Structure 1
Amino acid sequence: MMQLLDVFKKQGYSITVGSAASKSDFSADMEALGYQTADIKMNDSSFDVFVTDLNPDVVLFDRFLTEEQFGWRVAENCPDALRILDTEDLHSLRHVREQCFKKDIPFTTDAWLADDKTKREIASIYRCDLSLIISSYELELLTDVLNIDKSLLLLLPFMVNEITSETTWKTFDERSDFVFIGGGKHAPNIDAVKCLKSTVWPLIHKQLPEAKLHIYGAYLPQQILEMNNPVGGFLVHGRAADANEVMQSAKVCLAPLRFGAGIKGKLLSAIVNSTPSVTTTIGAEGMHGILDWNGYIENDHTAFVKAAVRLYTTQHTWKNAQDQGKILINTLYAKSSLENMLIAQVEQLQKNIATHRKQNFTGALLQHQTMTATKFMSKWIEEKNRG
């Protein structure tokens, strides 16, 4: 989201960030970054006054839950505003995969389609003029399984600066240890740490007794904090003061993710910081296209451990993986080309918004009063709160 705001800022947009979330010590200083801010309320018609006075040309929703809450108000009060949904990842996909994992049953697209959260998220995509899809796998899922028109979707992964000949990376000998970074409020991360602790790390530590595994993440639950074991080389640190510095210092990133969706920030961080990684099919999903991974993709625990040890101990293998990260960044995540693609799509839609919306009949249908349960639920909650 911060990257997207920066793109619009470069185009000369006056940007107002409206949020119903409470601020914390770790919240970005939006005013210092040049953005206006506004506190908005959920289930409250004060937003109608706010957005009408603002009269935006473009409205960007942070995930489908935000669009559910405020999208209908924007459509009613600012009908000419271009509505863009930043999906971040398909939350319904991550949710259904987690449920399947907990039940120890295979994930299927039929299970995904049957889930209520999927229906809500897809409805949100149809209600918007454009949805930003972060993963190539998820784009294929939407177009091939659901036949959503490609004019409603734009594949837009994280945007990073290209690697040039002047870019310097820490060498094999300048690095040490393994690393995992992941927030504690994200279920796939907690499962991955448990997998590392119980299965993967004991096997690696047996072969590399001097190496350590560093676990970083904000809001780690007590059960994870209690896994800290300096004698066994399993170190739980909590929040990283500087995630890039942590990643740059490590020799190998480990991410045995068994469910999830979207592009994994920890793995892109590893690529950006020239740190080879070992992950699973789920971890690398939608992140490398037809290109090789900057390390190894292994689902079997024995193969995962073997790959991790090979990367850690074999310099030419490690260097080849590091170099592959450069190819991935410059081919798939180059900031300049992705920024241009986004702005070109926005400008094209603004010129042809009436025609575009006529062609999206499903979206118009979902705006009809018989289909707007979230709107009337919000109105009911507002009246209830007044009482």
Structure 2
Amino acid sequence: MTAPLTTKVLVIGYVWPEPRSSAASGHVMQILETFLEQGWDITFSSPAGPGEHKADLGALGIREVAIELNSSSFDDFVSELAPDIVLFDQFMMEEQFGWRVEKQCPNALRVLETSDLQSLRHARHLRLKERLKDAPDDQDFTPLFAPALHEEFELMADSDMAKREIAALYRCDLNLMISDVEIQLLVEQFGLPRNLLHECPLMIDLPQGEHRTFEERAHFLSIGNFRHAPNWDAVLWMKTTIWPLIRARLPHAQLHIYGAYTPPKATALHNPAQGFHVMNWAEDALQVMSDARVCLAPLRFGAGIKGKIVDAMLCGTPSVTTPIGAEAMHGDLPWPGAVACSAQALADQAVQLYQDETLWNQARLAGQTLLAERYRKSVHGPALIDRLQQCMKNLKPLRKANFTGSMLRHHHHKSTQYMSQWIEAKNRNNTDTPAS
């Protein structure tokens, strides 16, 4: 009897995964682990250089292949590999390599992993900048945090990034969405067909054992990659406004801020006399989260769902955040901590959680319920595999039903192909031209 063929997966990453540096990379690793559990054959490729905290994919049995932008060498590589599934990590990779994949491997299922809608995050960032031009950052940001979906659409609709990103969603056979709010926005406002989207949130193995108790913990904590603009904005808001309000109520309180790729501008904020400690990268993020009594995540813009808050729930650490931080994360379930819209309200809630053991324990337990209800890997992993297999089985009718995607591929791929070939020829000529 012939053994069944192993599904071959090619992942094209914008960067090499660094799961201890960003939630986006953590989500990619969860997807890769789900594929490995199926016995699938995985190759991970990227045009980026390896980062400082790159995951050792080879140790997991995943091949690592460096690829080049605007190079026909990718055509030979992908043709020889002949993957059954190609997963683009971020829409820019679909823009760069989608036409080559379609040309060389037309029967491969093309899947886009979004992590978050970048065009939504970008539009919200612009809105915050406009709001801050003539107003202090200690104001109530309620209007900023709670727009209706049609207002988000109005904010995004004219942007080049939204047009590029949503076109990439159309061009793929399936898109993995981390946020149910973003799915609703795409379907109800942008008119994207629902069958092109699959909800795939962070996938967690539920924690075993007891958490550290209220009395065993101390200090506030904030964590996040400093290269991620929403995290840096949150650090600045804490430094200038939120932390002084907390410190006035708790004169001996300490805030420990951890993040990968700490720039000098962040290090310059370090001030032990104010209890404001910039700690650089955490070797074990879950350990420092478990030591803290309260996690602060005062995000004023962003998209997707927040890995730092899932980590807080895993560690039994209540979190204080904004509606942006809580978006798409808890449905109708109680928040494991507090959600507020102004610096004063965030500070008040943080102080109350820090001092009230009963309230703190209620928040800790709410986090465990939330993890079990919305983030279990044992639920979302099999659902992802089933959806991918159904798409591979019904690929022809799936594509025929997506005429808009076919039309966008036709026009985009032609223009991208000619531009890429022109760049490759130009680079080749520059290399061949001898120095004078």
TM-score by length of 1: 0.97
2:58 corresponding residue in structure 1: 31
Find 2:158's aligned residue among 83, 106, 114. Answer: 114
For 2:38 and 2:99, how far apart are their aligned partners in 1? 27
For 2:108 and 2:412, how far apart are their aligned partners in 1? 23
2:32 corresponding residue in structure 1: 5
Per-residue deviation, residues 20-50 of structure 1 (Å, max 9, x unmatched) = 1111342111111111111111110110000
Find 1:161's aligned residue among 205, 213, 225. Answer: 205
Per-residue deviation, residues 83-117 of structure 1 (Å, max 9, x unmatched) = 11000110111111111111228574212111000
Alpha-carbon distance, 1:242 to partner:
0.9
For 2:373 and 2:157, how far apart are their aligned partners in 1? 32
* Contact 1:62-1:86 within 8 A present in 2 as well: yes
1:123 corresponding residue in structure 2: 167
* Contact 1:365-1:371 within 8 A present in 2 as well: no
2:309 corresponding residue in structure 1: 267
The one-letter amino acid paired with 2:262 is L
1:291 corresponding residue in structure 2: 333
Alpha-carbon distance, 1:375 to partner:
2.8
Flag the 1:375–1:101 CA change in 2: closer, same or farther, 3 A: farther
* Contact 1:217-1:238 within 8 A present in 2 as well: yes
Residue 83 of structure 1 aligns to a residue whose secondary structure is strand
Alpha-carbon distance, 1:291 to partner:
1.2
* Contact 2:99-2:413 within 8 A present in 1 as well: no
Flag the 1:338–1:108 CA change in 2: closer, same or farther, 3 A: closer
1:93 corresponding residue in structure 2: 120
The one-letter amino acid paired with 1:137 is V
Find 1:141's aligned residue among 185, 188, 202. Answer: 185
Per-residue deviation, residues 184-233 of structure 1 (Å, max 9, x unmatched) = 11111111011101111111111111220001111222222111111111
For 1:179 and 1:369, how far apart are their aligned partners in 2? 49
Flag the 1:330–1:372 CA change in 2: closer, same or farther, 3 A: farther
For 1:24 and 1:234, how far apart are their aligned partners in 2? 28
Map 1:232-243 onto structure 2 (within 5 A): 232-243=274-285
User: Does 2:405 correspond to 1:363?
Assistant: yes
Per-residue deviation, residues 294-341 of structure 1 (Å, max 9, x unmatched) = 011101111111110110000010000000001110000000100011
Alpha-carbon distance, 1:162 to partner:
2.4
Alpha-carbon distance, 1:372 to partner:
4.1
2:320 corresponding residue in structure 1: 278
User: Does 2:123 correspond to 1:81?
Assistant: no
User: Does 2:350 correspond to 1:323?
Assistant: no
The one-letter amino acid paired with 2:48 is A
Residue 197 of structure 1 aligns to a residue whose secondary structure is helix
User: Does 2:79 correspond to 1:52?
Assistant: yes
For 1:251 and 1:272, how far apart are their aligned partners in 2? 13
Alpha-carbon distance, 1:265 to partner:
1.5
Residue 87 of structure 2 aligns to a residue whose secondary structure is strand
Alpha-carbon distance, 1:369 to partner:
3.9
1:218 corresponding residue in structure 2: 260
For 2:157 and 2:167, how far apart are their aligned partners in 1? 12
**Which range is displaced more, 213-222 or 56-65?**
213-222
Residue 368 of structure 1 aligns to a residue whose secondary structure is helix
For 2:284 and 2:76, how far apart are their aligned partners in 1? 40
For 1:331 and 1:49, how far apart are their aligned partners in 2? 45
1:339 corresponding residue in structure 2: 381
For 1:249 and 1:300, how far apart are their aligned partners in 2? 27
For 1:369 and 1:92, how far apart are their aligned partners in 2? 22
**Which range is displaced more, 220-229 or 292-301?**
220-229
**Which range is displaced more, 48-57 or 283-292?**
283-292
Percent identity over the alignment is 48
Residue 235 of structure 1 aligns to a residue whose secondary structure is strand
Residue 203 of structure 1 aligns to a residue whose secondary structure is helix
Gaps of 5+ in 2: 1-27, 133-143, 145-150, 430-436
1:102 corresponding residue in structure 2: 129
Gaps of 5+ in 1: none
Residue 329 of structure 2 aligns to a residue whose secondary structure is coil
* Contact 1:177-1:212 within 8 A present in 2 as well: yes
Residue 211 of structure 1 aligns to a residue whose secondary structure is coil
* Contact 1:85-1:130 within 8 A present in 2 as well: yes
The one-letter amino acid paired with 1:124 is A
For 1:31 and 1:327, how far apart are their aligned partners in 2? 35
Per-residue deviation, residues 98-152 of structure 1 (Å, max 9, x unmatched) = 1111122857421211100000000110111100000111111111111211110
Alpha-carbon distance, 1:12 to partner:
1.2
Residue 17 of structure 1 aligns to a residue whose secondary structure is strand
For 1:241 and 1:314, how far apart are their aligned partners in 2? 30
The one-letter amino acid paired with 2:361 is K
**Which range is displaced more, 108-117 or 304-313?**
108-117
The one-letter amino acid paired with 1:20 is P
For 1:146 and 1:167, how far apart are their aligned partners in 2? 44
